[in-house]
Amino acid sequence: MLVRFFGDLRAGGIPVTLPEFLSLLEALEARIAAQSPEQFYYLARMALVKDERHFDRFDRVFAEHFAGAEKVFEKIVAELPDEWLKQLTERLLTEEEKQRVAALGGWNKLLETLRERLAEQKKRHEGGSKWIGTGGTSPFGHGGFNPEGVRIGGKGGQRRAVKVWDARDYRNLDDGVELGTRNLKMALRRLRRFAREGAAEELDLDGTIDATARNAGLLDLKLVPERRNAVKLLLLLDIGGSMDAHVRVCEELFSAARAEFKHLEYFYFHNFTYERFWKDNRRRFSVVTNTTSLLRTFNSDYRVVIVGDATMSPYEIEQPGGSVEHWNEESGRVWMSRITAHFPRLVWLNPEAEDRWKWTPSIGIARDLVGGRMFPLTLHGLDDAMRELKRGKATPALSG
């Protein structure tokens, strides 16, 4: 029963692994959640789900799988030895009630009927006077009014109106992202090149030994700066319009890149590269950076990553004045070729799905313009892009 639940969770897109499942079983064996379906739910969730974004998916699978979780508990209880049930119920019943149980034919009769009805029962049941379920007057189930009632599972009368997993409180945390920032960071790490720069704060062991030996054995400490990622990265991000659909993945890429690179510069553009970029989208018309000064400011050591879907009318690339929001004297093609000429190490990441590229002519044009170095914005594509950037033409200017 639980094994199928495990399979359902995996099918439902929750990355559950076998050790986690085993630890849930271990916890169940330790009787941590023996008291109520809610506790079982909490326990299952804490053992199997490790990201609050998956809580909603878990709730859905849980609700589907244990449609009427009480029933599951009843099943578990039905498989338990009589003594256990008896003990439990004896604790819960008053003397008077016990006498009435005897009137009904005693314990064995009661349990026998319970088994029979469990077998008969096909569906979850609420109310009514015969079947097992919640809130009824049948002797079985819980939360009922029959004094002979065998209380099964949860604490009767204390249940909330809505079951916790049906409430689906975590709905808006589920975003179905395929690329987590962690994965992005790991991919970006390919592009690392360590160099020692900045304040000297690490012990230089070799240097110290050398200096101490020269100092006739008296200790002479030498410090060196810590190794840091010396790669310089320039991000050019397409913003607005058709990019709105890709905002999330771009944000993740941006935050991952920010954390990984010490020298990171970024600029925004709309649809295609023209004579200007900007840093602040709110002041995009007042505070702009001219592309020529951008090319002067950042030397060709910088690796350039362009992020954009390149989905537009081909005129926007080919024609002077083709831009959708201003009059550009020179075409996007001219500006792009200036950029690629200045920065030898450049890639284009495209959030649009790769199999759709061939249907959009402008993607083909942009791809040719960057010399075929366009990659899809997926983990695999990012990996390839980073490898491409790393290869590039190594210039001696960059000290390693």
Partner 1 sequence: MNQARFTGTDRYVATPDLMTAVNAAVTLARPLLIKGEPGTGKTQLAEEIARSLARPLYEWHVKSTSKAQHGLYEYDAVSRLRDSQLGDEKVREIRNYIVKGRLWEAFDSDVQPVLLIDEIDKADIEFPNDLLRELDRMEFYVHETRELVKARHRPIILITSNNEKELPDAFLRRCFFHYIRFPDAATMEKIVRVHFPDLKKELLAEALTAFFDVRETPGLKKKPSTSELLDWIKLLVAEDIPPEALRGDDPKKTIPILHGALLKNEQDVHLFEQLVFLNRRAGR
Binding site for partner 1 (CB under 8 A): 15, 17, 19-20, 23, 26-27, 30-33, 38-39, 42-43, 45-47, 49-52, 55, 164, 169, 180-182, 185-186, 203, 217-219, 221, 259
Provide the 10 A C-beta neighbour count for residue 375: 22
Residue type for position 233: L
Phi-psi region of 20 (alpha: psi -120 to 50; beta: other; left: phi over 0): alpha
**Cβ distance to partner 1 smaller for residue 6 or 277:** 6
Q: How far is the CB of 14 from partner 1 (least distance, A)?
A: 12
Residue 47's nearest CA partner among 22, 70, 65 is 22
Backbone φ and ψ of 72, nearest 5° = -60, -45
Q: Can you tell me the distance from the alpha carbon of 43 to that of 6, in angstroms, rounded to the nearest whole number?
A: 14
CB closer to partner 1, 156 vs 392:
156
Give the C-alpha separation, 20 to 35, whole Å.
22
**Tokens 């006077």 correspond to what residue?**
129
Asked if residue 263 lies in contact with residue 296, where contact means CB atoms within 8 angstroms, the answer is no
Given the complex with partner 1, which of 156 and 180 has the nearer CB atom? 180
Q: Which is nearer to partner 1, 78 or 186 (CB)?
A: 186
Dihedral angle at the C-alpha atoms of 274, 280, 284, 290, nearest 10 degrees?
Answer: -40
Cβ proximity to partner 1: between 80 and 221 the closer is 221
User: Closer to partner 1 at the Cβ: 158 or 399?
Assistant: 158
- In the chain, count of helices (H) and strands (E)? 17, 9
**CB of 89 vs partner 1, minimal distance in Å:** 21
Task: Please provide residue 346's backbone torsions phi and psi, each rounded to the nearest 5 degrees.
Answer: -145, 140
Shortest distance (Å) from residue 277 CB to partner 1: 25
Helices 69-78 + 106-120 axis angle, to 10:
130
Q: In the complex, what is the shortest distance from the CB of residue 27 to partner 1, in angstroms, rounded to a whole number?
A: 5
Nearer CB in complex with partner 1: 30/397: 30
Q: Least distance in Å: CB of 354 to partner 1?
A: 25
Question: Cα(296)–Cα(370) distance, rounded to whole angstroms?
Answer: 20
Q: Identify which of residues 49 and 374 has a Cβ nearer to partner 1 in the complex.
A: 49
Q: How far is the CB of 46 from partner 1 (least distance, A)?
A: 5
Provide, rounded to whole angstroms, the least separation between the CB of residue 178 and partner 1. Answer: 13
Whole-angstrom distance, CA of residue 115 vs CA of residue 75: 9
Q: Nearest distance from residue 281's CB to partner 1, in Å?
A: 16
- Is the CB of 156 or the CB of 241 nearer to partner 1? 156
Please compute Rg for the chain using Cα positions: 33
- The number of beta carbons lying within 10 Å of the beta carbon of residue 297 is 11
DSSP character string of 23-35: HHHHHHHTTTT-S
Minimum gap (Å) between residue 96 Cβ and partner 1: 32
DSSP string, 197-223: EEEEEEE-HHHHHHHHHHTTTS----E
